[in-house]
Each structure stands twice: as structure tokens, then as C-alpha cells.
């Protein structure tokens, strides 16, 4: 794949909870995820994993398990996102029915940047805190930072990485 020009792949892992993956109809197991990331690493393909923090049915312990799973997978990049209950989806219907948020609440913000709903176990504010904890746990590891530094080959890459790092730090400091 790399010889054909494939240098990176993004995977929607979402959760480290098998029950959640089944409920969300993801169609894969955690073992398949582990194997896929192993193969990509072996083939020299960079990986990005996306995770959703605060899916229905997930407790704080489930979210912490997802954070640990992200650290073990050790993708090149990870994105920790909030659930966005988009219009006409089953999750939105469930969230409205269970009172996790109000119908008109932040209807225009579909970005997932700000917490707009909790679930049956966690408030929106707590899910927001856990999302930020996941981000810090992943990106502020010395092993991750050293690996990123080793991958820099040009002055442009150095400037680009420093600018991105600074933007992430300031954005997270303000949130």
C-alpha cells in the first residue's frame, strides 16, 4: 500500500468498550483494531484514530478504558471527540427522549467543539473534562513528543510542528 502512495490512514475506533461498539453498529472488534494498527505500523503507514467520548451507555470507567486503549494503540495522531446528536439520527432521538439535552439546545453548533449533552451516567461538563484529560494523556507523553521530534526532517516541518503544538497548547489552556 505504501508503494502505491498510501502513507496514512484514519480509523474511527470510537470506544474500547465492545458493548458500545455493538450498540453503535460499528461492525468490528477491538482485536481487529489492534491487528490493523499493528499491520499499519509494520508497513510504515501512519495512523490516526478517532474516539468519541461520552457515547450512550458509557461510564467514566469505560471512557478511561478508551483512553488507555488509545495509549496502547499508540497511533501517530488521535482525535478525542464529543458526541454530536445530529438531526434525524437514532442517537438524537434517544438523547431527546431521555432528557440528555433539550431540542433547541445549541442546535447550530454541530462541530462537537463544546459539550451539549451528557448521557445516563455523566453530565456534559464531566464528559468535557474527560475529553480534555484524554487529549492531555495522549499528546503530552514524553514518548510521543520524542517520536514526533525524531520525525522532523526539514526546517519547514519543525516550524509547522511548533506552530501546531503552540496552537494546541493555547487552545487547550483556554478550554
Are the CB atoms for 20 and 14 separated by under 8 Å?
yes
Assess contact for 66 and 16: CB atoms under 8 A: yes
Phi and psi angles of residue 73, each rounded to the nearest 5 degrees, phi first: -60, -40
pTM, entire model: 0.86
List of domains in the chain: 8-139 (3.30.750.200), 142-175 (no CATH)
The pLDDT, as a whole number, for residue 110 is 61
pLDDT in tens, 90-133: 888 888 888 887 666 655 566 666 777 889 999 989 999 999 99
Beta-carbon neighbour count of residue 159 at 10 Å?
11
Among the residue ranges 24-28, 30-34, 47-51, 85-89, the one predicted with the least confidence is 85-89
Amino acid at each position: 500500500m505504501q508503494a502505491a502512495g498510501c502513507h496514512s490512514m484514519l480509523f474511527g475506533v470510537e470506544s474500547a468498550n465492545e458493548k458500545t461498539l455493538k450498540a453503535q453498529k460499528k461492525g468490528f472488534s477491538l482485536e481487529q483494531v489492534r491487528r490493523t494498527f499493528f499491520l499499519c505500523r509494520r508497513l510504515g503507514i501512519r495512523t490516526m484514530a478517532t474516539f468519541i467520548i461520552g457515547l450512550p451507555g458509557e461510564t467514566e470507567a469505560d471512557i478511561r478504558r478508551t483512553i488507555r486503549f488509545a495509549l496502547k494503540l499508540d497511533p501517530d495522531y488521535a482525535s478525542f471527540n464529543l458526541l454530536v446528536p445530529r438531526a434525524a439520527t437514532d442517537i438524537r432521538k434517544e438523547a431527546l427522549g431521555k432528557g440528555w439535552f433539550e431540542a433547541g439546545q445549541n442546535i447550530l453548533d454541530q462541530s462537537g467543539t463544546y459539550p451539549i449533552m451528557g448521557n445516563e451516567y455523566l453530565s456534559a461538563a464531566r464528559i468535557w473534562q474527560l475529553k480534555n484529560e484524554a487529549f492531555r494523556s495522549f499528546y503530552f507523553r514524553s514518548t510521543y513528543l520524542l517520536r514526533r521530534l525524531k520525525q522532523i526532517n526539514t526546517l519547514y516541518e519543525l516550524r509547522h510542528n511548533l506552530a501546531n503544538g503552540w496552537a494546541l497548547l493555547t487552545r487547550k489552556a483556554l478550554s
